Amino acid sequence: MNVEGIIAVTGKPGLFKVVGQTKNGVIVVGLEDDKKVAMNSSSKMSALQDIAIYSYTEEIPLVNVLDRIRVKEEGKATIGHKASAAVLTEFFRGILEDFDEDRVYPSDIKKVISWYNTLQKAGLAIETVIETEEKEETEDAEVIEEKPKAKAKTKAKPKAKAKKE
């Protein structure tokens, strides 16, 4: 899933795609309503590609979490973000079993699920070309057997020149 150029803005519902730059900020288009808006640089904006989810072992990039949801739901919309905290937590545990429950709050899970559904409605919850190429390369690598390496050729030593007497 490619979320490059997609941002979330604190205090504004939904997700936005950056389409241009102004002197004091950026121009964005809402993914849900297609309205163009100029965002001031003082607005707190977060690029989805820079967000990560805490787990007990490492930080998992949000893109990977969204992709896991896409794979589980087969590209379709998932549960609503207004479900109870217990239902959301159980769903999220099915996506990311070792997420850090002390640092990932139910409100964070709601955002992730809401963002996924927004991306899905906008047609962005798809397998990217890069992912498809990576799968093909992996499949090709499994099919191709290693050929025995040819013996290294040794260079012929230059003949010694006879000295003139």
**Rounded distance between C-alpha atoms, residue 3 and residue 66, angstroms:** 10
Question: What confidence tens digit (pLDDT) does each residue in 19-69 have?
Answer: 999 899 999 999 989 899 999 988 899 999 999 999 999 999 999 999 999
* Res. 127 pLDDT band, cuts 50 70 90: confident
**Rounded distance between C-alpha atoms, residue 22 and residue 138, angstroms:** 43
CATH number, domain containing residue 48 = 1.10.10.1650
Whether residue 29 is contained in a domain is answered as: yes
Residue 40 burial by CB count (10 A; 0-12/13-18/19+): exposed, middle or buried?
exposed
Question: What confidence tens digit (pLDDT) does each residue in 78-121 have?
Answer: 888 888 999 999 999 999 999 999 999 999 999 999 999 999 88
Whether residue 105 is contained in a domain is answered as: yes
Number of domains composing the chain: 1
Whether residue 15 is contained in a domain is answered as: yes
pLDDT at position 129, please? 45
Q: For residue 100, give its domain range.
A: 6-121
Predicted structure pTM score = 0.73
Whether residue 129 is contained in a domain is answered as: no
Whether residue 70 is contained in a domain is answered as: yes
Whether residue 76 is contained in a domain is answered as: yes
Whether residue 17 is contained in a domain is answered as: yes
Whether residue 155 is contained in a domain is answered as: no
